[in-house]
Structure 1
Amino acid sequence: MTIHHFKGFGGVRLEADISGDENDPAILLVHGAGQTRAVWGTVAEGLVQAGRRVVSLDLRGHGGSEWPEGGRYDLAAHVEDLRAVLAQLGSRPVVVAATFGGWIASIALSVDGSNLAAGLVLVDMPVRSDPQVAKDIGERLRKVGTKVSDWDNRALDGVDLDAVSAQLLDAGPSLKLPTLVIRGGISWVRQAEGTKEFDKSLPDAEVFEVADADLLVMTDRTEALLAHLLDFLERKQPRTANEFRAGSDARTLRDAMGCFATGITVVTALGDDGAPIGLTANSFTSVSLDPPLLLVCIAKTSGTAHRLREAEHFAVNMLQTSQQPTSNRFAGKGQDRFAATAWHSGETGVPLLDGSLGSFECKRHAVHQGGDHFILIGEVVRAQYEPRRDPLLYFRGKYRRLHFA
């Protein structure tokens, strides 16, 4: 086990234990208010033994993490801390968060969550907090080993409990990543107002209620928690690699290819009638600098494939982060793609999309057959780009953006 420091929101130092092989799938553990990362001890050990790399984090004002001088413990600060930690990790972990940590994780991952994490597990998370029950939980946790001196008392006063429920219900529909909800079958958490509404709002969730867990699954039924957690991980984040062999499911091959992150382009040209045509493509690469050649792969089933194959000139428009709607528009059917897209004619007459990261105007150099696609090679006659913009990326079937630690 090693101790690692992350830089949180506002420069606050956050401390974590890291255990397990660095090549194993990652798990990020987030404790609740009035706890420290030590509360995850048994769970973390079980996860490591099951072949997982575990990062167990102390929240600001808790355990080994810094206690901010200004006493800023509002929920927004915790949310930005978690997003900062996720951006600094080398891979997307499954986030396992308990009680108050679940509030933080739910809100943090409701924006671009699939870019930051591979999954979410919410343990004992109430949707609405009862102050008396929160007090009882705090006393219970102190009995199992957490000391008041391990956390800043101001941390419990920094969150507006009345506003949390609405924030969680807003966040639920946006948690578009595999989610597991675990709570006690007879606990107040299960009975709390808004619980069923929150569960139903989750797009991709499994809900388990652990029998005989009165107050907290995390402390009352640790082994049951670990069993459900490992089952979820083996199905959603398996340790063994998927395999494709010739003649097997083509979807597996597509998923394997999807592990290579790419940019996204829109290939444009003029049709026989002089009207603009175009489609979205991410199979694009440089071929040669002398002569200046590039290629794109076009599906033969595309409605504009035959016109792109015959066009004397075409353009490749590289998309930037705000052009996700453009990518969807040119990948879909049944609409006038150019009517809703700002564009202008390039020097060769081909359509260039306004606001793109860059564009390449090409004359047709060669066309080669490639199975269900054809390979269109173009000689670049003019290129332009905007270095201050960031690319729109595609990885594992989803749009992505660059993240800078």
Structure 2
Amino acid sequence: MTTIRIPAAGGLAIVADELGNPDAPTVILGHGGGQTRHSWDRAGHELAEAGYHVINYDLLGHGESDWEPDGDYSYARRAADLTAIAARARGPFAFVGASLGGLSSMAAASLGTMPAAMVLVDVVVRLSESGVDRIVEFMSANPRGFGSLEEAADAISAYYPDRKRPARLDGLRKNLREGSDGRFYWHWDPKFLIGGRPHGALEDLIENAGWTATVPTLLVRGMKSDIVTDEGVAHLAERIARLEVVDIGGAGHMVAGDRNDLFNEAVIGFLARVMPPVTGEALREPG
């Protein structure tokens, strides 16, 4: 695995982990809002082992990627970032996006960066407003940060009581940054929450977009999610001709984190059919 910096618009940079053989078909992993690329760590390694070239990136304003000084986190901006990332692919590529990463993937495809396949992880164009409100409330709740990792873990447990609290908090640290005041803050730019949720703008973008008629697309839905409803799935199915849906029992909105085994199985199986990997001797990374 190699950590790279990808030049993006405005002189900013996107930080990503790159795995697998660069000559293999590429899978671009985009995490959800408020997360970092580390939410994909296990999936990235399994995809590389399956024969794919993987680019697992921090969305702009998240993790180690730069923050947009003017707070431009529009769909157009995120689509431009994905265009810069996709330029590293030497052949066909697929977008795999969770929540905000999935919305960004649909925007990029609609604005001309056409993938060979797309995987949307618990995200549709018409999201449950009550579910989105709950997420935004959680993300906005601690502007002064946390005094310890334990406090941050308490906040997550209160928001998502069904998920078992980890015995060790090393993984949580990757989603936090320590400020000069010694407190812990979420590893994202608060400006990305400003300006509302322009999902209507995305709906306008995908309406009659060419990819919706041709690109094989998998929706992986967590059956305990309060974000994706049956109505949202039906709306998406009316617009994406080659849509397949896999429901993951026992998983909420953070599908990969809740049932990583079933998630990886579904995604790798889908990609193997629509964008076959490199296997055998050709699987080895150069050098």
Quickly name the TM-score band, shorter chain normalised.
Answer: 0.7 to 0.9
The one-character-per-residue Cα deviations of 1:115-170 (angstroms, maximum 9, x if unpaired) are xx221100011432534332377564997622244211111224534535633652
After TM superposition, the structure 1 = structure 2 runs for residues 199-218 of structure 1, keeping only pairs within 5 Å, are 199-218=237-256
After TM superposition, the structure 1 = structure 2 runs for residues 23-38 of structure 1, keeping only pairs within 5 Å, are 23-38=23-38
**More contact order relative to length (CA 8 Å, sep ≥ 6):** 2
> In structure 1, how many angstroms separate the alpha carbons of the residues matched to 2:211 and 2:25?
24
The structure that has the greater radius of gyration is: 1
Contact persistence 1:199–1:207 (CA under 8 A): no
2:131 paired with 1:133: no
What is the match of residue 82 of structure 2? Answer: 82
Name the amino acid aligned to 1:238. P
Q: How has the CA–CA distance of structure 1 residues 46 and 158 changed in structure 2, closer, same or farther, with 3 Å as cutoff? A: farther
Specify the SS of the correspondent of 2:110. Answer: coil
Specify the SS of the correspondent of 1:27. Answer: strand
2:267 paired with 1:229: yes
Extract structure 1 runs of 4+ deviating beyond 6 A.
141-144
Q: How has the CA–CA distance of structure 1 residues 197 and 15 changed in structure 2, closer, same or farther, with 3 Å as cutoff? A: same
Name the amino acid aligned to 1:216. M
After TM superposition, the structure 1 = structure 2 runs for residues 242-257 of structure 1, keeping only pairs within 5 Å, are none
The one-character-per-residue Cα deviations of 1:47-90 (angstroms, maximum 9, x if unpaired) are 12222221101111111111122222222211211122213433
Contact persistence 1:33–1:101 (CA under 8 A): yes
> In structure 2, how many angstroms separate the alpha carbons of the residues matched to 1:183 and 1:173?
24
Q: How has the CA–CA distance of structure 1 residues 123 and 162 changed in structure 2, closer, same or farther, with 3 Å as cutoff? A: closer
Q: How has the CA–CA distance of structure 1 residues 133 and 118 changed in structure 2, closer, same or farther, with 3 Å as cutoff? A: same
Pick the aligned partner of 1:166 from 199, 203, 206. 203
2:177 paired with 1:179: no
Contact persistence 1:82–1:105 (CA under 8 A): yes
Specify the SS of the correspondent of 1:54. Answer: strand
Specify the SS of the correspondent of 1:109. Answer: helix
What is the match of residue 193 of structure 2? Answer: 156
> In structure 2, how many angstroms separate the alpha carbons of the residues matched to 1:174 and 1:90?
20
Contact persistence 1:126–1:192 (CA under 8 A): no
TM-score by length of 2: 0.74
What is the match of residue 245 of structure 1? Answer: none
The one-character-per-residue Cα deviations of 1:288-308 (angstroms, maximum 9, x if unpaired) are xxxxxxxxxxxxxxxxxxxxx
Q: How has the CA–CA distance of structure 1 residues 119 and 137 changed in structure 2, closer, same or farther, with 3 Å as cutoff? A: farther
Moved more, 153-162 or 63-72: 153-162
> In structure 1, how many angstroms separate the alpha carbons of the residues matched to 2:251 and 2:41?
19
Name the amino acid aligned to 1:5. R
> In structure 2, how many angstroms separate the alpha carbons of the residues matched to 1:170 and 1:219?
31
Q: How has the CA–CA distance of structure 1 residues 137 and 41 changed in structure 2, closer, same or farther, with 3 Å as cutoff? A: farther
> In structure 1, how many angstroms separate the alpha carbons of the residues matched to 2:209 and 2:36?
26
| Structure 2 stretches lacking a partner, 5+ long | 140-154, 160-164, 166-170, 177-184, 280-287
The one-character-per-residue Cα deviations of 1:261-292 (angstroms, maximum 9, x if unpaired) are xxxxxxxxxxxxxxxxxxxxxxxxxxxxxxxx
| Structure 1 stretches lacking a partner, 5+ long | 242-405
What is the match of residue 103 of structure 1? Answer: 103
Contact persistence 1:172–1:201 (CA under 8 A): no
Identity of aligned residues (%): 29
Q: How has the CA–CA distance of structure 1 residues 111 and 79 changed in structure 2, closer, same or farther, with 3 Å as cutoff? A: closer
2:277 paired with 1:239: yes
What is the match of residue 67 of structure 1? Answer: 67
What is the match of residue 362 of structure 1? Answer: none
TM-score by length of 1: 0.54
Name the amino acid aligned to 2:251. A
**Larger strand proportion, structure 1 or 2?**
1
Contact persistence 2:128–2:229 (CA under 8 A): no
